[in-house]
Amino acid sequence: MYRAFFDRVLTRTDPERAHHGAFRAIRAARPVTRLRRTPGEAVSALGLTFPNALGLAAGFDKNAVGIDGLGALGFGHVEVGTVTGEAQPGNPAPRLFRLPEDRAVVNRMGFNNDGAEAVAQRLKARGRRPGPVLGVNIGKSKVVPEDEAVRDYEKSARLLAPYADYLVVNVSSPNTPGLRNLQAVEKLEPILTSVQRIAALDDRRVPLLVKIAPDLADEDVLGVADLALAVGLDGIIATNTTISREGLRTPSARVEEVGAGGLSGRPLAGRALEVMRLLRTRVGPDLCLVGVGGITTVQDARDRLEAGATLLQGYTAFVYEGPLWPRRIIEGVSA
């Protein structure tokens, strides 16, 4: 039913408008669905207990307004954000595009969010409660120059760490100018060590992960892996969206019409799987690796786990497959 609704109705609706409408429905349905048992088996990672292995990737709930409704759909963790130190509107619309032939999405949202102070106040009001594990993904504000990035990440970490179960440093979105330059080890290390210091709260230590792009060369992926081990990072999320447009079924004229932005969905699965294997081989068995990018079917999820993922995340498949998708994946993997 959802597939038919998507193909006949949602594909004729502006993607960003459809997202906001669907999200309002999820939030409104939370009181009805909250008593449903979270599917799957618990996973121990990052010193935390995740109700199951599948989480919702950052980007869907940018401002931490629907955590519990999303958890009620079956997600074992919800990663909010990307949140920046300064509130920002993001890039001009249109900035979100579907490629249905590829079950893919292109976005150039530009980290539109309410800013770290507003999101921190929202999380404080929500309080700590049972439900999905809460991750908070932080990125660089567009107005902050690259040489002041450490300060900007520190601001977000200081405000948000008290309310997060884990933090993620995002240096891999293609939609903030210069952001991916921060994946270079010499620029990434001071950001990670500074945020890591702030995340060591008086009453607990908040685990810290970094999210990387699939477009890194293999040697750079391994460099990030080595850095993670050297600084005592808790995990790596692999991968973010890609700037590649290779191998798409969508006609090239349509791809050119859509323009720049990060591509997510099925076309990303192959490279994301390769990166996962590279990372696990390099870091050994203990570091938490979160597999994201192109996971659509139960077999996709199994492949990522077999490649070394500790946890999984999805987003684009959730858009295409609908609200029952997380439970189908978790129950299929458990079976």
Per-residue pLDDT reduced to its tens digit, 219-271: 999 999 999 999 999 999 999 999 999 999 999 999 999 999 999 999 999 99
Question: Residue 234 in contact with residue 166, Cβ under 8 Å?
Answer: yes
Q: Is 143 exposed, middle or buried (0-12, 13-18, 19+ CB in 10 A)?
A: exposed
List, for residues 3-56, the tens digit of each pLDDT value. 776 676 677 788 888 888 888 888 887 544 444 567 789 999 999 999 999 999
The pLDDT assigned to 27 comes to 83
Domains and CATH numbers, the chain: 2-334 (3.20.20.70)
The more confidently predicted of residues 1 and 324 is 324
Report residue 202's pLDDT band, with 50, 70 and 90 as the boundaries.
confident
What does the pLDDT read at residue 185? Answer: 80
Region 173-178: what's the mean pLDDT?
A: 74
The catalytic residues are 173
pTM value is 0.93
